């Protein structure tokens, strides 16, 4: 699983809980994540704030924790948009980006959806795009949001 231990996941029920998990995960990232991969292309604080502000009001955010210490491993958000279920974001800590953890992560994410999973990813975020395609997502189109090209992906 990565660092070993039991995996638990819970729906985060408060903004401070969501902010804590996003901040903890982003603090482990290198500069390229903030300047190339994240849609905000800014400082770590700007990217954290952008992520928190991008979740829909009705989004359900889930946190994943490992071991007795409840080490923060990942999060994802899901919401309805235009009659479709949308993955509003996800992030996995570097130390948990193992085949075993990622297979379990996507299995659990998929269980939260009643139908296909839709997500938009910044065109320049090659690591996320390659990862999603390897995990069964298909690139289905593009759109422009705030002057940035977004790749639309779907997993049935």
Q: What does the H/E/C string look like for 113-124?
A: CCCCEEEEEECC
**DSSP label at 33?**
I
pLDDT at position 4: 62
Q: What percent of the chain has pLDDT over 70?
A: 97
- Which of helix, strand or coil describes residue 136? coil
**C-beta of residue 78 within 8 angstroms of C-beta of residue 60:** yes
pTM comes to 0.89
Domain spans in the chain, listed from the N-terminal domain onward: 7-115
Q: What is the mean pLDDT of the chain?
A: 91
User: Under CATH, to which class is 7-115 assigned?
Assistant: alpha beta
CA distance 108 to 29: 24
**C-beta of residue 39 within 8 angstroms of C-beta of residue 148:** yes
**Segment 96-119, tens digit of pLDDT:** 999 999 999 999 999 989 899 999
- Through-space distance between the first and last CA atoms of the chain, rounded to whole angstroms: 25
Please, which pLDDT band fits residue 35 given cuts at 50, 70 and 90?
confident
């Amino acid at each position: 699983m990565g660092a070993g231990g039991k995996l638990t996941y819970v729906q985060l029920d408060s903004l401070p809980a969501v902010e804590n998990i996003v901040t903890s995960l982003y603090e482990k990232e290198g500069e390229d994540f903030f300047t190339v991969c994240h849609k905000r292309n800014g400082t770590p604080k700007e990217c954290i704030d952008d992520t928190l502000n991008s979740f829909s009001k009705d989004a359900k955010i889930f946190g994943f924790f490992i071991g007795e210490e409840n080490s923060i491993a990942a999060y994802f958000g899901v919401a309805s948009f235009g009659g479709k279920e949308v993955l509003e974001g996800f992030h996995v800590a570097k130390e948990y980006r193992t085949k075993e953890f990622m297979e379990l992560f996507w299995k659990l994410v998929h269980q939260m959806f009643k139908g296909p999973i839709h997500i938009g990813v910044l065109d320049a975020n090659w690591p996320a795009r390659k990862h999603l395609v390897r995990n069964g997502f298909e690139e289905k189109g593009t759109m422009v949001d705030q002057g940035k090209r977004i790749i639309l992906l779907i997993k049935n």
